[in-house]
Structure 1
Amino acid sequence: MSVLVSVALRARDAVRGVWREVTKFGVVGALAFVVDNGGYNLLVFGLPGGSEGGVMRALPVQASVLATGIAALLSWAGNRYWTYRHRHREKLTQELVLFLLANVVGVAITAGTVYASRHLLGLDSVLSDNVARVFGWVLATLFRFFAYRRYVFVAP
């Protein structure tokens, strides 16, 4: 087998492996996204059709942090036991601390976009909050993927 064919086959296998990882990460992330955004909307805006708003209607940034924190715990379990089940660390505590540090940055990114929308741009509608959160979620997800892959779930 020529060197060129060998390199091409290795590259193909690496791309397939990354795509499987991205797909699993995406499924876990999609579930966490539903928990995060659903939780945020319930906390701030209440049940659909309700006129009173949610229990944290006056605290949207804190509600964002709480909802994202709950979603992060779901994400850790899904990524540890499914996406990166073959790469997790022997020391659970060390892995969890690194995971939480990566997610603190992710929470800050997501909450930061809500803060910018509310306090810098003066927007406070359901639409503007959700656009800000989706934008923050995309940025935070890109950060998390690379942080998990590089620092949190490392090959033994």
Structure 2
Amino acid sequence: MSSPSRARRALALGARFLTVGAISTVIEIVSFNALLAFGVEPVTAKIVASLIALVNAYFGNRHWAFRSRARRSRRAELALFLATNAMCTVLGAVIVWGGDLAVEAVLGREAGVLALNAVNLFSIAVVVVVRFALYHFIVFRAQPARP
């Protein structure tokens, strides 16, 4: 396979992944803010919002973004997907927790919704990179080329 063809396929995969991610991000941000509005603590809101968006992420990635990848058993794939996302959820929550503490230290008061959303968006950006790498190389991995 030629490099330009491989590059086009990689770009198409990345675009599909980012589209699914954008939709999941909107779901996560709306959920996060709704939970904050109901008085849920920021880290808990982050975890719950991530889990809500996870449903869209699985179906969008499995059935669209990585649809051309060979499938392993549904259980194995789902277990890897859930493990990957549990790790990514913890990573996002740790970033929100640290960011919340940092904002409070800098401002000398509790972080407001705008600051929490900035921290949340930063956590999403970091987690997107980690998640793509794990999906690409582990969860929905390509089958090795046969000689």
Q: Which has the higher contact order (CA 8 A, sep 6+)?
A: 2
Q: What is the match of residue 79 of structure 1?
A: 61
Q: What is the match of residue 130 of structure 1?
A: 117
Q: What is the match of residue 132 of structure 2?
A: 145
List aligned pairs for 1:113-124, cutoff 5 A.
Answer: 113-122=95-104, 123-124=110-111
Per-residue CA deviation, residues 1-28 of structure 1 (Å, 9 max, x unaligned), is: xxxxxxxx71101110000001100110
Q: What is the match of residue 37 of structure 1?
A: 29
Percent identity over paired residues: 28
Unaligned ranges ≥5, structure 1: 1-8, 46-53
Per-residue CA deviation, residues 49-93 of structure 1 (Å, 9 max, x unaligned), is: xxxxx1xx2421111101001111210110000011121423011
Aligned length: 138
**CA distance in 2 between partners of 1:112 and 1:144 (Å):** 15
Per the TM alignment, residue 117 of structure 1 is displaced from its structure 2 partner at its CA by: 2.1
**CA distance in 2 between partners of 1:44 and 1:88 (Å):** 40
In the superposition, the TM-score normalised over structure 1's length comes to 0.83
| Bigger CA radius of gyration | 1
Q: What is the match of residue 14 of structure 1?
A: 6
In the superposition, the TM-score normalised over structure 2's length comes to 0.88
